[in-house]
């Protein structure tokens, strides 16, 4: 009896370092596949991003978006290039368009320290910084980002849009994440100043009543920035609106080695995209310097999300092997103060997986 399961994955390498890190993510996925029973991955590549705009005039062709929806999951590298902009000067961000069009409201950004040499904070050892940022990804302060303004405008306003429905579904996901971790959820807002954020907190307080076993805290975004640097070990899950989450994610990545160490998942009720938290990093593109670990850990998140016993086992294999490989001080890319090239660290991880665990 053949009960093999095939998962279809849309792969979007994108721009800049995107294709370089995706190559390593895919090789790790193939290595994991070799260790799994009765699970196969069928990958299909799509061109989306600034490069696609240069070729065909649209960074995210509608036909491509439709095809993405037919896959079980989407694996994305990085998109956009600073020099390639819309005529009004705004940078292309098809990765944000995808989030909005597929209603991927829940951005998961896990932050974990893999080696003490990766952090600028001297007192922390591997595993001692370990928290998750849950970022709302369809409204908040990004909600009016596509509004056009006359070039000679003397005033431009962005709107912080917080809806009850958008907040309720976000908080439900955040509480569920907290239940699966250390049962501690911190709301990050600016409820003391902004009415939209006071509303956000009110909806959070209501949601908290449904999850009595989760300890909750509420802090302002400015204090969160301070505490994340001073005492990151006190956080388990943080939940916040779109723009605050965008900023805190980069700050948090800086605590554990930078953007090359920060994976992410953008989850909706129907679709999900997995991608490193970083952008296309044109300053290092094409040089073999990019750290692919964020992408490899995004593959791990994808396997977890696919929620098959075997893909979950694959996710656990990636996690253990990444931990083991990065525990060696010499296994560092340039961003972490080492000298390994993108493919070298990727190969170390993929080979150890393919050889089977000890
Ligand atoms: P975006 O706005 O699209 O998220 P960004 O402008 O914030 O992008 P990134 O492309 O994320 O910028 O790059 C920020 C810095 O981090 C750059 O100095 C870049 O070289 C570095 N960086 C980003 N990703 C990696 C990586 N995978 N490995 C090493 N360095 C990286």
For residue 132, the domain's CATH number is 3.40.718.10
Last residue of a domain, one of 262, 295, 327: 262
Residue 116: CB partners within 8 Å, gap ≥ 6?
A: 124, 125, 126
Which residue's CA is the closest to the ligand 1 atom numbered 8?
279
Average pLDDT over residues 80-91: 88
At 18, list the tokens: 């995107």
Q: Is 272 helix (H, G, I), strand (E, B) or coil?
A: strand
Residue 358 has pLDDT above 70, yes or no: no
Name every residue whose Cβ is closer than 8 Å to that of residue 205 and which is 6 or more positions away in sequence.
none
**Residue located via tokens 């709301």:** 187
What domain range includes position 36? 1-104+268-358
Q: Note the Cα 96 to chain centre separation in Å.
A: 12
Tally of helices (H runs) and strands (E runs) in the chain: 11, 10
Query: Taking every pair of C-alpha atoms in the chain, what is the biggest distance, in angstroms?
Result: 70
Atom of ligand 1 nearest to the CA of 93: 3
Q: Which atom number of ligand 1 is nearest to the Cα of residue 294? A: 27
Measured distance CA(333)–CA(342) in Å, rounded: 7
Looking from the CA of residue 292, the nearest atom of ligand 1 is: 27
Residue found under tokens 């994808």: 302
Is 283 found in the same domain as 190? no
Look-up of token digits 């974990």? 112
Same domain, 11 and 81: yes
Q: Give the model's pLDDT for residue 148.
A: 87
- 322 and 242 in one domain? no
Residue 266 and residue 134 in contact, taking contact as beta carbons nearer than 8 Å: no
Arithmetic mean of pLDDT over the chain: 96
pLDDT at 268 over 60: yes
138, 188: one domain: yes
Residues 10 and 61 reside in one and the same domain: yes
Give Cα 22 distance to the centre of its chain.
14
| Among candidate residues 64, 62, 56, the one with its CA nearest the CA of residue 12 | 64
Q: From the CA of 289, how far away is ligand 1's center (Å)? A: 12
pLDDT exceeds cutoff 90 at 3: no
Q: Which residues of 140-162 are buried (b: 16+ CB within 10 A; e: fewer)?
A: bbbbeeeeeeeeeeeeeeeebbb
Strand partners, 220: 189
217 and 291 assigned to the same domain? no
Give the pLDDT band (50/70/90) at residue 284: very high
**31 has pLDDT over 90:** yes
Please tell me the predicted confidence (pLDDT) of residue 146: 86
Q: What pLDDT band is residue 2 in, cutting at 50, 70 and 90?
A: low
Cα 348 to Cα 331: distance, rounded to the nearest angstrom = 9
Domain count, the chain: 2
Q: Residue 324: which residues within 8 A CB-CB, separation 6 or more?
A: 352
Reading the block at residue 235, the tokens are 């956080």
Summarize pLDDT for 203-245 with one digit per residue, the tens: 999 999 999 999 999 999 999 999 999 999 999 999 999 999 9
Q: Based on the domain organization, do 246 and 119 belong to the same domain?
A: yes
Q: Which of 278, 280, 284 to mutate to test the pocket of ligand 1 (most atoms within 8 A of CB)?
A: 278
**Where is average pLDDT lowest: 146-160, 164-178, 249-263, 282-296?**
146-160
Residue ending a domain, choose from 209, 240, 262 = 262
Mean local confidence (pLDDT), 16-24? 98
Same domain, yes or no: 26 and 8: yes
* pTM of the predicted protein model: 0.95
Q: Please, are residues 185 and 204 in contact by the beta-carbon 8 Å criterion?
A: no
Which of 262, 289, 315 is the C-terminal boundary of a domain? 262
| 261 secondary structure, DSSP code | G
Structure confidence at residue 256 (pLDDT): 98
Instruction: State the closest ligand 1 atom to the C-alpha of 250, by its place in the atom list counted from 1.
Output: 7
* Residue range 37-49, pLDDT digits in tens: 999 999 999 999 9
Looking at the fold, whether 64 and 8 belong to one and the same domain comes out as yes
H/E segment holding residue 342: helix 342-354
Burial of 89 (0-12, 13-18, 19+ CB in 10 A): exposed
| pLDDT(13) > 80 | yes
Q: What is the DSSP string of 51-75?
A: HHHHHHS-SS-HHHHHHHTTSSEEE
% pLDDT > 90, the chain: 94
Give the mean pLDDT of 190-211: 98
Pocket of ligand 1 (CB under 6 A): 17, 21, 80, 258-260, 278-281, 283-284, 290-291, 294, 335
- The reply to whether 151 falls in a domain is no
How far is it, in rounded angstroms, from Cα 21 to Cα 15? 11
Residue 159 scores a pLDDT above 70: yes
pLDDT above 90: residue 149: no
The percent of residues in the chain predicted with pLDDT above 70, rounded, is 99
- 3-class DSSP state for residue 80? coil
Q: Is the pLDDT of residue 18 over 60?
A: yes
Residue 357 has pLDDT above 80, yes or no: no
Strand partners, 237: 132, 185
Residues 6 or more apart whose CB falls under 8 angstroms from that of 85 comprise: 91, 92
**Rounded Cα gap, residues 310 and 331, in angstroms:** 28
Which residues fall within 8 angstroms of residue 163, CB to CB, at 6 or more apart? 139
Q: What pLDDT does residue 1 have?
A: 47
At 87, the pLDDT band (50, 70, 90 cuts) reads confident
**130-136 vs 237-240, strand pairing mode:** parallel
Residue closest by Cα to atom 5 of ligand 1: 279
């Amino acid at each position: 009896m053949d009960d093999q399961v095939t998962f279809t994955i849309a792969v979007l390498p994108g721009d800049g370092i995107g294709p370089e890190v995706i190559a390593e993510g895919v090789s790790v996925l193939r290595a994991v596949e070799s260790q799994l029973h009765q699970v196969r991955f069928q990958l299909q590549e799509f061109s989306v991003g600034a490069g696609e705009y240069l070729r065909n005039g649209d960074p995210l062709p509608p036909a491509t978006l439709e095809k993405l929806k037919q896959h079980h999951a989407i694996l994305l590298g990085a998109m956009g290039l600073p020099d390639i902009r819309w005529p009004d000067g705004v940078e292309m961000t098809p990765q944000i368009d995808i989030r909005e069009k597929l209603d991927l409201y829940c951005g998961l950004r896990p932050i974990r320290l893999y080696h003490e040499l990766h952090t600028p904070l001297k007192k922390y050892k591997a595993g001692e910084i370990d928290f998750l940022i849950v970022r709302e990804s369809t409204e908040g302060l990004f909600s009016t980002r596509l509004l056009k303004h006359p070039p000679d405008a003397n005033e431009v306003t962005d709107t912080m849009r917080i809806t009850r429905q958008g907040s309720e579904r976000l908080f439900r996901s955040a509480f569920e994440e907290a239940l699966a971790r250390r049962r501690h959820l911190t709301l990050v807002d600016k409820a003391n100043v902004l009415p939209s954020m006071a509303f956000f907190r009110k909806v959070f307080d209501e949601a908290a009543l449904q999850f009595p076993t989760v300890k909750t805290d509420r802090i302002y975004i400015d204090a969160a920035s301070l505490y994340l640097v001073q005492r990151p070990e006190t956080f388990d899950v943080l939940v916040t609106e779109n723009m605050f989450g965008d900023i805190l994610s980069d700050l948090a990545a800086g605590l554990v080695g930078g953007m090359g160490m920060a994976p992410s998942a953008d989850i909706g009720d129907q679709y999900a995209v997995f991608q490193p938290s970083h952008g296309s990093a044109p300053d290092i593109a094409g040089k073999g310097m990019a750290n692919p670990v964020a992408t490899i850990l995004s593959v791990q998140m994808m396997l977890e999300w696919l929620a098959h016993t075997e893909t979950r086992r694959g996710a656990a294999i990636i996690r253990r092997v990444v931990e083991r490989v990065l525990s060696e001080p010499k296994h560092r890319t340039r961003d972490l103060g080492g000298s390994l090239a993108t493919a070298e660290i990727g190969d170390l991880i993929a080979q150890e997986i393919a050889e089977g665990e000890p």
